[in-house]
Homo-oligomer: A and B are copies of this chain.
Amino acid sequence: MPMKITRPTLLLDKQKALQNISRMAAKAKQNGVRLRPHFKTHQSAQVGEWFRAYGVEAITVSSVRMARYFADHGWTDIMIAFPANVLEMESINELASRINLHLVAVNQDTVTALAKGLRHPVQLSLKIDTGYRRTGILATNYAEVDAIVQLIREQEKLQFAGFVVHDGHTYKQTDADAIQTIFNTSVYQLRQLRNRYKAKHPNLQLSIGDTPSCSIIEALQGVDEIRPGNFVFYDLMQQRIGSCTFEDIAVCMACPVVAKHPDRGEIILYGGSVHFSKEVLLQEDASTSYGRVVTLTEDGWSEPLEGIQVVSLSQEHGVVKATPEQFSKYNIGDLMGVLPVHSCLTANLMQGYLTTEGEVLEHLTGLPQQLVS
């Protein structure tokens, strides 16, 4: 590693991230769909810049604050893919005054409140639930969609843009066919909806967003836009689903070894739930993992090692279980590399990156933990 690391640090392999972006951009182009990447994964102005070389001009974020951050860094076409929070009308207006802002609604009350509060035009899409059952209007609830479309039409500041879906239930799958089925079901339902309104709205856009579908399915036909986010870094959860290989994972924690317990083959890391998050992965053998150990090298890291992994986390401690052979390789004061279970949450906690080329990159939430006093 090019820089002296003394505390838990989130490493970022820029070349891997660029490859991930390149692959997704090529797939979008090949399928004739717009790539509107979700920036909530990296939340970094500098990582955001990397997308421009691949023709990305429109982005997705998950909060008004994140939209403002990227607007301040030159992005002019931003969708906040979260049910519009009408309490933030003032910030929404400020943003709508200077960028092409897309909002998402899931009910009439929100549409009414937006119509009342907006002073500048915004694009408004309806969030549709095609099976995830977190939020969204049920795709088959035509009465509700009819009513809300009619309501939008009557509002001067709202431009009805289309339908957005997030198929979060693909995160529970580990089988490509299951993910293909979810995608097909969503596309079918979205197209039914579009057909219903196309006479009055010929340009309605269909937008879909999960990393598993966008990674695994080659023919992303039937939609106009994809909004994956996690793919820029990937992580153990995505590898488990089948969205990526271990080699594609572009972020890795480096954690100091602070204690060893030979009687039970456990190594204690400085690196806990305030660094990794509490996200846990159920593995094929039904064991749970909080991170897979890799060997840190001059310019990156290896594939995950067998016989060693993070088995529990408390606030600052990570407990690593190792075979005797792996156990003997580590000494107090060494750095251990750990691939995170969920890179979005780890990046959100770590507040910044150190690239394997030695560059420090910022994160919306603050300065990198490892670089501030």
Contact = CB atoms under 8 A, between A and B. Distances in A.
A315 interface: yes
Interface residues of A, number: 63
A92 B18 CA distance: 38
Contact of A332 (B65, B113, B351, B369): B113
B315 A345 contact: yes
A202 B69 CA distance: 58
B63 A316 contact: yes
A268 B82 CA distance: 11
Interface string A63-86: 111001100000000000011111
Interface in A96-144: 106-107, 109-110, 113, 133-135, 138
B278 A314 contact: no
B5 A316 contact: no
A261 to B, nearest CB: 7
Contacts of A90: 6
Contacts of A134: 268, 314, 317, 319
A168 B268 CA distance: 15
Given A107-B259, A110-B332, A314-B168, A345 B274 contact: yes
A367 B351 CA distance: 13
Given A278-B345, A279-B278, A109 B331 contact: yes
Interface string A258-269: 111101100010
Contacts of A113: 332-333
Contact of A273 (B65, B256, B277): B277
Given A331-B109, A332-B107, A258 B133 contact: no
Nearest to A317: B134
B87 A7 contact: yes
B6 A315 contact: no
Contacts of A332: 86, 107, 109-110, 113
A186 B331 CA distance: 29
Given A6-B85, A83-B259, A332-B113, A264 B133 contact: yes
Interface string A327-338: 000011101000
Given A273-B277, A366-B351, A258 B373 contact: no
Interface in A319-373: 319, 331-333, 335, 344-345, 348-349, 351, 365-367, 369, 372-373
A22 interface: no
A36 interface: no
Given A263-B138, A345-B278, A258 B84 contact: yes
B85 A7 contact: yes
Interface in A245-303: 256, 258-261, 263-264, 268, 270, 273-274, 277-279
A319 B316 CA distance: 28
B333 A109 contact: yes
Contact of A62 (B65, B168, B315): B315
Interface of A: 5-7, 40, 62-65, 68-69, 82-88, 90-91, 106-107, 109-110, 113, 133-135, 138, 168, 256, 258-261, 263-264, 268, 270, 273-274, 277-279, 314-317, 319, 331-333, 335, 344-345, 348-349, 351, 365-367, 369, 372-373
